[in-house]
């Protein structure tokens, strides 16, 4: 069985398929996890294997948003979906009004 | 197998993204330790750990537990508190780092003053007092002007100048309230029981961004602070580099910083040093065993194409990946920490697009969020935004920063 997220043509990523697989993981694992901090992460698109997301709620403007993104979401997706090359955050973090961890110190 | 970095990041830091992205660019595996849980701590125990930075026992236990499954090659703390925690973890794991004693001395203003004075590094005359002691008795014996300082707070929070005994008593009352605030109470201990009183040192202020390699200070940037810092409070605003001051002044400042680092036994890693200079020469105001705070590091780029960040430089050194200390890009650069006009609940900052269009401005970053309670110094030391600019000369950078700042209007909800 081919890796999830890879198209039949070797080396070419099927973004649509990756999107479907990632969306399911967002619904079942990612968003239940970030919901513990009042957050939500919307899957916007997959472009050449790069997962495009927007962070909401407690994640938007959170001082640790990048840590969640890289150490949590991206690492999990790369492990679970071989076609995922990376993750891109298009969130306007400055517009966040209720970050879980506010940036208040040095 | 890639190297692995244990990065100690407090959840309130401005600098999580800069350090995480630096680690990614270096191609190392990363474990982030914070004092609060991540949403993914349970599913990514190799990448995210929770540890109380104030507990030596817990830090040691967490580091030893982690290294059983994932060998660690370096430990790095990004602020004063986590530098001490990083020293404890590194000592437990037998990794290169400054000693725990050196980290503690750098993070305690009184202990630092003592060490520096013993080594004949020029520091203001100082004395430690208990906040509970009668301020009238302290005020009577002082030679004015003086500066009151908390022992552990950063970014000039709680720092006030008093020119008379009456002002001293007013400042003391205000400092006592700050030391009794909720976040300071959390720290506990001496942090809220004592304070420092020191002679005010006149003269322009500077900062040195340095990296100590094999005991030798390499200057990454020498910052001018063009706005006078004469009190009554000490809000940092503009940092510019390269310095416009004469070479001999710069050399004296660098030599003073190097002596201070040596006196504190800081023999490796980043340092951020605050100094003043007057007709008696350089004065060491403070030395921190970490890079510059806030978003300010974003102003510094290194390498021939400017592709290397300050965070990459210091992490590469911690991991043993730095073959030589890279030169900063040659153009002038600067940052302005946007001050809080007055206390209130922030609604928004207007004029951002206008500020970003000013010639030379490279970025305007908002760090405060809508609805956040903000207050100016000395009560708080939070900067709602940072402005960055570049130009051929420092004068051009300063002009761009001031013009961009004039575009910004802080709007309050109340």
Set out the domains of chain B in order of their start, with CATH numbers: 4-105 (3.40.50.20), 125-199 (3.30.1490.20), 331-414 (3.90.1170.50)
pLDDT, chain A, mean: 88
Confidence of residue B201 (pLDDT cuts 50, 70, 90): very high
User: Is residue B213's pLDDT more than 60?
Assistant: yes
| Confidence at residue B380, expressed as pLDDT on a 0 to 100 scale | 86
Scan for tokens 């407690």, then name that residue: A58
H, E, C per residue of B20-54: HHHHHHHCCEEEEEECCCCCCCCCCCCCEEECCCC
Report pLDDT digits (tens) over B397-412. Answer: 999 999 999 999 999 9
User: Is residue A6's pLDDT more than 60?
Assistant: no
Mean pLDDT of B89-104: 97
Report pLDDT digits (tens) over B167-182. Answer: 999 999 999 999 998 8
Q: A40-96: which CATH topology?
A: GMP Synthetase; Chain A, domain 3 (3.30.300)
Report pLDDT digits (tens) over B276-313. Answer: 999 999 999 999 999 999 899 999 999 989 999 999 99
Residue among B332, B324, B333, B411 at smallest CA distance from B366:
B411
Contact B401, B238 (CB under 8 A): yes
User: Is residue A2's pLDDT more than 50?
Assistant: no
A31 touching chain B per CB within 8 A: no
By CA distance, what is B18's nearest residue in A? A66
Contact B126, B353 (CB under 8 A): no
| Confidence at residue B26, expressed as pLDDT on a 0 to 100 scale | 97
* Lateral strand order in the sheet of B344-350: B373-374, B344-350, B409-412
Instruction: Give the whole-angstrom CA distance, residue B213 versus residue B196.
Output: 31
Q: What are the CA-CA distances from residue A38 to residues B64, B200, B220 (Å)? A: 32, 47, 40
Nearest Cα of chain A lies from the Cα of B248 at a distance, in angstroms, of 32
| Confidence at residue A10, expressed as pLDDT on a 0 to 100 scale | 58
- List all residues 6 or more positions away from B141 whose beta carbon is below 8 Å from its beta carbon: none
User: At CB < 8 Å, which residues of chain B contact A?
Assistant: 9-17, 20-21, 24, 30, 32, 34, 36, 38-40, 43-44, 47-48, 79-80, 154-155, 293-294, 365-372, 382
- pLDDT above 70 covers a percentage of chain B that reads 99
The DSSP symbol for A82 reads: T
User: Is residue B122's pLDDT more than 50?
Assistant: yes
Confidence of residue B81 (pLDDT cuts 50, 70, 90): confident
Contact B263, B117 (CB under 8 A): no
Beta bridge partners of A13: A6
User: Is residue A4's pLDDT more than 60?
Assistant: no
- Whether A33 sits inside 8 A of B40 (CB atoms) is yes
The DSSP symbol for A2 reads: P
Confidence of residue B154 (pLDDT cuts 50, 70, 90): confident
Contact B306, B289 (CB under 8 A): no
Domain ranges of chain A: 40-96
- List all residues 6 or more positions away from A39 whose beta carbon is below 8 Å from its beta carbon: A55, A56, A57, A58, A59, A60, A62, A68, A100, B39
Confidence of residue A106 (pLDDT cuts 50, 70, 90): low
Burial pattern A20-57, b for ≥16 Cβ within 10 A else e, equals ebbeebbeebbbebbeebbbbbebeebeebebebebbb
Scan for tokens 């920490």, then name that residue: B337
User: Is residue B240's pLDDT more than 80?
Assistant: yes
- pLDDT above 70 covers a percentage of chain A that reads 88
Confidence of residue B19 (pLDDT cuts 50, 70, 90): very high
User: Is residue A12's pLDDT more than 60?
Assistant: yes
pLDDT, chain B, mean: 95
Mean pLDDT of B169-196: 86
Nearest Cα of chain A lies from the Cα of B140 at a distance, in angstroms, of 35
**Region of B7 on the Ramachandran plot (φ > 0 left; ψ -120 to 50 alpha; else beta):** beta
Report pLDDT digits (tens) over B49-73. Answer: 999 999 999 999 999 999 999 999 9
User: Is residue A73's pLDDT more than 50?
Assistant: yes
| Confidence at residue B165, expressed as pLDDT on a 0 to 100 scale | 97
3-state secondary structure of B266: coil
Q: What are the CA-CA distances from residue B296 to residues A1, A16, A63, B238 (Å)? A: 50, 40, 16, 10
Q: Which of A67, A69, A76 to mutate to test the interface with B (most CBs of B within 10 A)?
A: A67
Report pLDDT digits (tens) over A14-29. Answer: 999 999 999 999 999 9
Instruction: Give the whole-angstrom CA distance, residue B24 versus residue B136.
Output: 55
Which residues from chain A sit within 8 angstroms of residue B9, using beta carbons? 64, 67
- Whether A96 sits inside 8 A of B12 (CB atoms) is no
User: Is residue B188's pLDDT more than 80?
Assistant: no
């Amino acid at each position: 069985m081919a890796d999830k997220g890879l198209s039949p043509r070797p080396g070419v990523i099927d973004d649509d398929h990756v999107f479907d697989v990632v969306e399911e993981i967002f619904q079942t694992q990612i968003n239940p996890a970030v919901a513990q901090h009042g957050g939500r992460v919307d899957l916007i698109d997959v472009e050449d294997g790069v997962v495009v997301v927007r962070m909401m709620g407690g994640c938007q403007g959170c001082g640790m948003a990048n840590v969640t993104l890289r150490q949590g979401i991206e690492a999990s997706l790369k492990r679970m979906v071989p076609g995922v090359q990376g993750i891109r955050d298009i969130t306007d973090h400055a517009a966040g009004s209720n970050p879980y961890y506010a940036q208040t110190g040095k | 197998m890639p190297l692995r970095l244990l990065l100690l990041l407090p959840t309130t830091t401005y600098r999580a993204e800069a350090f995480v992205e630096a680690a990614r660019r270096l191609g190392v595996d990363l474990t982030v330790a914070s004092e609060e849980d991540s949403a993914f701590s349970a599913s990514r125990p190799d990448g995210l750990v929770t540890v109380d930075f104030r507990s030596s026992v817990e830090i040691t236990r967490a580091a030893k537990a982690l290294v059983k499954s994932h060998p660690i090659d370096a430990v790095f703390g990004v602020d004063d508190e986590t530098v001490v925690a990083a020293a404890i973890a590194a000592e437990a794991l037998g990794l290169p780092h400054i000693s725990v004693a050196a980290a503690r001395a750098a993070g305690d203003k009184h202990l630092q003053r003592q060490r520096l004075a013993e080594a004949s590094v020029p520091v203001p005359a100082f004395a430690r007092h208990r906040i509970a002691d009668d301020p009238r008795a302290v005020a009577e014996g002082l030679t004015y002007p003086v500066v009151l300082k908390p022992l552990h707070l950063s970014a000039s929070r709680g720092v006030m100048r008093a020119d008379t005994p009456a002002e001293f008593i007013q400042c003391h009352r205000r400092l006592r309230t700050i030391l009794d605030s909720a976040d300071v109470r959390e720290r506990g201990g001496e942090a809220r029981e004592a304070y420092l009183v020191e002679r005010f040192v006149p003269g322009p202020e500077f900062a040195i961004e340095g990296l100590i390699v094999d005991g030798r200070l390499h200057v990454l940037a020498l910052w001018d602070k063009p706005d006078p810092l004469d009190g009554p409070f000490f809000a940092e605003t503009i940092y510019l580099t390269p310095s416009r001051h004469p070479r001999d002044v710069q050399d004296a400042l660098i030599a003073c910083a190097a002596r201070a680092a040596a006196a504190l036994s800081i023999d490796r890693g980043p340092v951020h040093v605050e100094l003043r200079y007057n007709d008696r020469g350089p004065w060491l105001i403070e030395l921190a065993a970490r890079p510059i705070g806030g978003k300010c590091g974003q102003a510094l780029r290194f390498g021939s194409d400017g592709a290397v960040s300050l965070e990459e430089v210091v992490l590469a050194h911690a991991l043993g990946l730095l073959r030589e200390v890279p030169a900063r890009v040659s153009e002038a650069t600067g940052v302005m920490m946007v001050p809080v006009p007055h206390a209130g609940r922030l609604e928004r900052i207007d004029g951002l697009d206008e500020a970003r269009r000013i010639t030379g401005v490279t970025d305007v970053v908002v760090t405060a969020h809508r609805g956040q309670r903000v207050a100016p110094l000395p009560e708080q030391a939070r900067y709602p935004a940072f402005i960055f600019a570049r130009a051929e000369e420092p004068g051009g950078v300063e002009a761009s920063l001031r013009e961009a700042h004039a575009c910004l209007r802080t709007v309050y909800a109340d």
